Every structure is written in structure tokens, then in C-alpha cells.
Amino acid sequence: MKGLSKKEIEVIAWLEFHQKYFFTSAEIDHFAKNKTQRYNIVKNLMKKRRIIKLNRTKYVLVPIKATSGNWSEHPLIIADEMCNGKEYYMGGWAAAHYWRVTDQIPFQWDIYTTRRQGKKEIMNTRFVFHRTTKKRINKARTGTIQNHTFRIIAKEEAKKWMRSRA
């Protein structure tokens, strides 16, 4: 693979072999002699667009078979991994589309959480974080897509949200 060092190919191959497409920098610790070398490996892989940073500690791997560096994961899976699978739920157009309340494909994916707010763009997908309460988060349902679970508002809540948009 042109442009990647031997160490970087080794890291990517190990992650793919163990099917760790979402990983933390601590998981590739055994490839580096110290923290500085680990930081440089991660930084260089990000610069070469072989990994994408999701949050402070978590990254997503762009597999070797994506030769041009273009890769896509389902936005619901990315949202779950960004929030580490806890204290969040998906709402808005994403929930309405998931529950088939609307045929409209969402331009942005709304994530309701107690911790973050703001916008983030990952893999040409726009994620918008909204603040909410723990009480509302506890009302969320669990959904599954591509053998990956995520949290989403109930179908009735999505229908109610759609009626408010009309």
C-alpha cells in the first residue's frame, strides 16, 4: 500500500484481522514503544485518512479494501460509537426515517445526550448534538442495524415529532 509505513500497515492489518473497526488508542498500545510513538502512529494514520476520530478516545478504521480512502458506515452505528453506547438517543428525522414514519432521508442526524452539544461532521455525515435529560434518555428504545445496537426514541414519539413539524 503506497504511502503507509510498515508499522502503519501492521496496525491496520491487526485491527482488520481482529475486526476492530471501532477502537481506542490503548488497543494499539502494543505496537508502540511509548506514548509518543503511539500518538505519532495515530496522528499519521489520521493525516493519511486511514482512521477517523469519533471522540476523545475512539477512532474508526477505514479498511485496506477502501483503496481511495472513501469509506462509509451507517450513521446510527457511528452515533452509537461516538457516545460510547450510553446516555444518548437518536431523534428527529433519523428516528422518523428509521421507524418508516417518513421516506425522507435525513440530511443531519440528531443525537440527544446529557453531555454534549454542537455539530460534528464525520464521513460526510452531519451529526447535531442536543441536550436532554436523563428521564427522557431512559424512555428510549433499543434498535439494531447490521448486528449493532443503538438507542432511538419510541415510534410513538417519532410520530408525535412528525405531527409537530407539519
Q: What is the DSSP string of 131-162?
A: E--HHHHHT-EEEEETTEEEEE--HHHHHHHH
pLDDT value of residue 1:
47
pLDDT value of residue 67:
64
pLDDT in tens, 45-100: 999 888 999 988 899 998 877 766 566 788 999 999 999 888 999 999 999 999 99
Total-model pTM: 0.83
Q: What are the strands of the beta sheet with 51-53, ordered from one edge? A: 22-24, 58-61, 51-53
Mean pLDDT of 146-152: 91
pLDDT in tens, 91-138: 999 999 999 999 988 999 999 999 888 999 988 889 999 999 999 999
CA–CA separation, 22 vs 53, rounded Å?
Answer: 10
Handedness of CA 15, 120, 158, 133 (dihedral sign): positive
Q: Do 102 and 161 meet the contact criterion of CB atoms below 8 Å apart?
A: no
pLDDT value of residue 84:
87
pLDDT value of residue 5:
87
| Res. 27: pLDDT tops 80 | yes
Helices and strands (H, E) in the chain, number of each type: 6, 9
pLDDT value of residue 2:
61
Residue 128: all three cell numbers together: 447535531
Residue type, 124: N
